[in-house]
Amino acid sequence: MPARWQPAVLDSREPGGWVLAHCQQHFLADSNGVLFPREWLKRQDLPILAEHGLGYFAGDPIYLLELQQPVELVGCSWQGLRQLMLQGDAGTFKMLGFASQIGTWARQHRFCGSCAGPMQPVAGERAMHCPICAIQHYPRLSPSMIVLVTRGDEILLARSPRFNQGVYSTLAGFVEAGESVEDCVAREVFEEVGLQVHNLQYVASQGWPFPHSLMLGFHAEYAAGEIVMQAEEIEDARWFALDDLPLLPPSSSISRYLIDLYLARRSGLPEPVLPG
């Protein structure tokens, strides 16, 4: 059974515990993994920007060191968050995803955006406070939609130029100011592939730390139109038969969950469980 991850606000002035070292969505790792004895790692010559108490993993207190830049330590290497997502279990990925989002927030909110004064952490709360103009900033969350569009025994999948070779996925996009998520689904599908959809159904959500998205997953049915790919955003988009699918995203992603759920429902098989 995967180790349990429990977020909590821990006082970084307290000694002990384990620590993650993070920089730009990469974590320091050695042969034992990404967790290091906290007091030992802090004694190394590290360019620390911020330290935050994250919570508990398998009952142990976990802290984060956000570094100015990656540094080399004997026996250690830096591993990307996407790489770790493919290697670890759901509990580990939830911890690392949370840590990466807190590290990104800490890096980007060292100074006040209104008066440029130095920000200070708020005791007992996950917030940064400006003592000059009293503004508080909480960890950023960017709502996004992700949708599986279907047409009977076909599903719409597309490739971004950023994807790994051969991988196709569902469509996704950020919710704009003043827009409902349902409006975002219709707009993004039309913008990216020129299709109209209807019968939207919310399915599930997943925190997606690249860098701080909340993916709201939908299923939608094809209504009208022919595929017209958005330049620079979509490299290829096609209708795929359910028995002839391309390479798909990793099983830990909500994109893969939306696909597997539809396949299970069409075939009468047990429904999958969204990791995490």
DSSP class per residue in the chain: -PPPEEEEEE-TTS--SEEEEEETTEEEEBTTBS-EEHHHHHTS---EEEEEEEEEETTEEEEEEEESS----TT-EEEEHHHHHHHS-HHHHHHHHHHHHHHHHHHHTSB-TTT-PBPEEPTTSS-EE-TTT--EE----EEEEEEEEEETTEEEEEE-TTSPTTB-B-EEEEPPTT--HHHHHHHHHHHHH--EEEEEEEEEEEEETTTTEEEEEEEEEEEE----PPTTT-SEEEEEETTS--B---TTSHHHHHHHHHHHHHHTPPPP----
Q: Establish how many alpha carbons lie within 13 A of residue 179's alpha carbon, considering only the half-sphere containing its beta carbon.
A: 17
The whole-number pLDDT of residue 89 equals 81
The whole-number pLDDT of residue 2 equals 62
CATH number of 5-108: 3.90.79
The whole-number pLDDT of residue 67 equals 98
CATH 3.90.79.10, domain 142-267, yes or no: yes
Domain boundaries along the sequence of the chain: 5-108, 142-267
Say yes or no: do domains 5-108 and 142-267 share a fold: yes
The whole-number pLDDT of residue 37 equals 98
The whole-number pLDDT of residue 276 equals 66
Name the pTM for this structure.
0.91
The whole-number pLDDT of residue 90 equals 83
The residue count of the chain comes to 276
- C-beta of residue 251 within 8 angstroms of C-beta of residue 169: no
Q: Tens-digit pLDDT profile for the chain (276 aa)?
A: 567 899 999 999 999 999 999 999 999 999 999 999 999 999 999 999 999 999 999 999 999 999 999 999 999 999 999 889 888 788 899 999 999 999 999 999 999 999 999 999 999 999 999 999 999 999 999 999 999 999 999 999 999 998 989 999 999 999 999 999 999 999 999 999 999 999 999 999 999 999 999 999 999 999 999 999 999 899 999 999 999 999 999 988 999 999 999 999 999 999 999 876
